[in-house]
Amino acid sequence: MSGKLFVSGDEAVALAVRQTKPHVIAAYPITPQTIVVERLSDFVEDGSLESQYLYVESEHSAMCACLGASAIGARTFTATSSQGLLYMVEGLHYASGSRFPIVMMNANRSLAAPWSIYNDQRDSLSELECGWIQLYAENAQEAYDTILQAYRIAEDPKVMLPVMVNLDGFVLTHTYELIQTAEQEKVDAYIPYRDFCNKLDLDQPKATCITAGPPYNMEFRYQQHQATLCAAETIREADREFGEKFGRSYGGLVETYRCEDAEAILVTLGSVAGTVRCVVDAYREAGKKVGLLKIRCMRPFPAKEAAAALKGAKAVGVLEKDVSFGFEGVVHTNVNSALKEWNVTVPTANYVGGLGGRSISKEDIGGIFDALLSGNLNGSEAAFVNLRRDICGA
């Protein structure tokens, strides 16, 4: 049954996962992800989802369970957050290196220490190099839709890589929104189960998680790298096809909003993109040419798309809930690299905000646009948004 539902972001994810019909779900609770696996356990219990539900003893075990299940060709799902994601790190590399198309939801949450259960994106962005495709949702509807797209992407024979779908903790996971769910028949047609080309098979024996020394290791890494690059086109195709079947589309790897003639463009990802949209509209009404570039996919990084969207701007700001201590935000690093790769010369400024759940207001975003429009950039140093200088002495 399809229709409109008023649900939290976590529940939207669970509803989408039910429609993907995973063979195995590995569950371990951690705030603010727990509601996802709780709802999935309800679905298994009431019979609306036929799946092997494994309540494991840790996040590391959850990823290991998915590894084993995926190795024999099972469609799998798990979910985690923050410290739980870090506890999985060993398994993340096993999953990507073995080319297992696991789908995982991560509820973005700050990392300890100091301890915090509130949102920023330091957890997932710290794992950009682990070989997973990384997608970010702006709202509950996009979270629901991205879960469906994730299986279409991960299980593509040209890709065969795990996908991490990221939702801002509490801001999305626990906020209730109206979403449109899809008809099951359309979901089945969009992501039909296909035998994995690398699954263990008694009739065609093969090995996974093998040892590969110097004569072969680099070639494995090269193939993994090429598959990740090729995934960019699969992500575009998956989103385009999703739009045709379900009437909603997100631009593939990036979404541009009023960027065509913008003098100042703000780049960001996740839920804060929605706030930026509101500010863009307000500034446009005031006659100020500003725009938004929302990065939907951090790996593979959409270098070509980002450069094309930003090339006409006079100034670009990158607003992110992350910082690489001692340097800058990792999103800013990636954006600057993309601009250089595609020979786009435009001044950029890095703005770090929202760490540990600190609010990023429309006034904060307006201040960034004002600085970009005036050319008052902060140079090479990252500017911390809404910083309490009375505490840190900065």
pLDDT, tens only, 220-272: 999 999 999 999 999 999 999 999 999 999 999 999 999 999 999 999 999 99
Q: How far is CA 392 from the centre of its chain?
A: 31
Of 377, 368, 295, nearest in space to 330 by CA: 295
Please tell me the predicted confidence (pLDDT) of residue 208. Answer: 81
> Which helix (H) or strand (E) segment is 54 a member of?
strand 52-55
Instruction: Give CA–CA dist 383/386, Å, rounded.
Output: 9
> Which helix (H) or strand (E) segment is 319 a member of?
strand 315-320
Q: What angle do CA 339, 345, 346 make, to 5 degrees?
A: 90
Q: What angle do CA 349, 352, 356 make, to 5 degrees?
A: 175
Residue with tokens 């003098």: 263
DSSP secondary structure code for residue 225 in this structure: H
Please tell me the predicted confidence (pLDDT) of residue 394. Answer: 63
242, 310 contact by CB (below 8 A) = no
Please tell me the predicted confidence (pLDDT) of residue 1. Answer: 62
Token pair in block for residue 276: 């930026």
Token pair in block for residue 303: 């270098």
> What band does 173 get if pLDDT is binned at 50, 70 and 90?
very high
109, 86 contact by CB (below 8 A) = no
Q: Residue 153 above 70 pLDDT?
A: yes
Task: Give the list of residues 6+ apart from residue 96 with CB closer than 8 angstroms, or none.
Answer: 130, 131, 132, 161, 162, 224
pLDDT digits (tens, 9 = 90+) for 77-100: 999 999 999 999 999 999 999 999
For residues 170-182, give the mean pLDDT: 98
Q: Residue 105 above 90 pLDDT?
A: yes
